[in-house]
Chains A and B, each alone.
Chain A
Amino acid sequence: MKQKDTMEIMVGLFVLAAVAALFMLAMKVSNLTTLNEDEGYVLYARFDNIGGLKVMSPVRAGGVLVGRVVAIEYDQDRFEARVKMAIDPRYDRFPRDTTASIFTAGLLGEQYISLEAGGEEAYLGNGDEIRLTQSAFILEQVLGRLFYDQAAQ
């Protein structure tokens, strides 16, 4: 009986250790803690070209993570990409003339949307669309234009 008890306690500890490890993976290692779509409010933005932007890419303002991309689709009427973002409800005062740009973190890093606040008094609300956007920096296009300009001179 005694032996059986210690065995059961050990199994219990084993399961506890695994649960603790899983908790660490969830909270400390992965991004389970970051908001999901139904928690935040939604903003839209249109881009000519989104480059390597993906669903779950970060949305930053002043370098601070404020939200995530939750959907990307192609608008066949306007021939543009439409990006849906979920923004942390704590950050609810983005002026209406805020600019959304797609930047790359470092030279080889992943791409993210950067929000730069404008000066208007009115704020963006749930479901609004950001008018001012700047597309991703596409290396080939930039290089191509550079060579074209050089050749023209």
Chain B
Amino acid sequence: MPARGDAGRDASVPSLAWLRRLGRRVLAFCSRLGRANLFILRVLAGMPSVIPRFHLVMAQIYHVGVLSLAIIVFSALNVGMVLGLQMYNTLVNFDAESALGPVVALSLVRELGPVVAALLFAGRAGSALTAEIGLMKATEQLSSMEMMAVDPVRRIVAPRLLAGVLAMPLLAIIFCAVGIGGGYFVGVGLLGVDEGAFWSQMQDQVDWSEDVVNGIIKSVVFGVVVTWIAVFEGYESEPTAEGVSRATTRSVVYASLAVLFLDFVLTALMFGAF
């Protein structure tokens, strides 16, 4: 009934309808952001109770880390090989194919490793986390846990967040190493780039703190954001089958967008003007 009344009022002032919709959208977004922040504060407050029970985190590292390993290794190998092929084709025009090593390594360590690993992580582990928590909510498992005087934020959410934050950089590091291996296989093994030049130039141009550590810092940030979004969307999902499926989609989309946006911000901070 009230909806009809609104529509009637909108129709009388048609020029303002879109403005109202925009305003409502922005307000909804802000309140969601606020809830997400309050939520992570609650989770962080629960962290101290998780540390002594590290086996809970261990189980989650298995679920988000070990089970994502296959997809991470497979993608890294392919990304590395494609990089090797494409870069070789360009570099060979300048007689600079010996620079293949640093080009492949720098692209992987600085950008592709953290970003692609985070995107895959959002798709594989993030969606699973959202769906799991959403289903636990829909099937009243979280409610019943609360009624057993166990705080689900501490018992369920906190170990998962910690596990995600720990697993993400490990996956990104493995991604980088395997990717460089893929590039090495194509560049040195198939295309005949000099092996010595491949490694030595790479060593010469890839800097430990500037490139490798910065890449790892990126992946830690991505790990926090992707897991945060995943557990928040799961915990806030509507407790129905449809609600959970929508939350899962949202989790992957938002996490991916957040990773790409943050990657730009972090890159600007790290590699841009001082």
Residue positions of A touching B, CB distance < 8 A: 7-8, 10-11, 13-15, 17-18, 20-22, 24-26, 28-34, 56, 58, 65, 106, 108, 110
Contact = CB atoms under 8 A, between A and B. Distances in A.
A67 to B, nearest CB: 13
B208 A32 contact: yes
Nearest to A105: B204
Nearest to A26: B208
A14 B66 contact: yes
B173 A22 contact: yes
Nearest to B108: A29
A6 to B, nearest CB: 9
Contacts of A58: 204
What does DSSP make chain B's interface, helix, strand, loop or mixed?
helix
B67 to A, nearest CB: 9
Nearest to A10: B66
Interface in B155-178: 167, 169-171, 173-174, 176-178
A31 B65 contact: no
A58 B201 CA distance: 12
Contacts, number: 78
Given A29-B109, A30-B212, A11 B170 contact: no
A21 B206 contact: no
B22 interface: no
B178 A21 contact: yes
B202 interface: yes
Smallest CB-CB A-B distances: 8 pairs: A21-B177, A18-B170, A32-B208, A30-B208, A30-B206, A21-B173, A10-B66, A21-B174
Interface centre among B177, B202, B205 (most CB of A within 10 A): B177
B174 A25 contact: no
A7 B67 CA distance: 11
B105 interface: yes
A7 B62 contact: yes
Contacts of A26: 208, 212
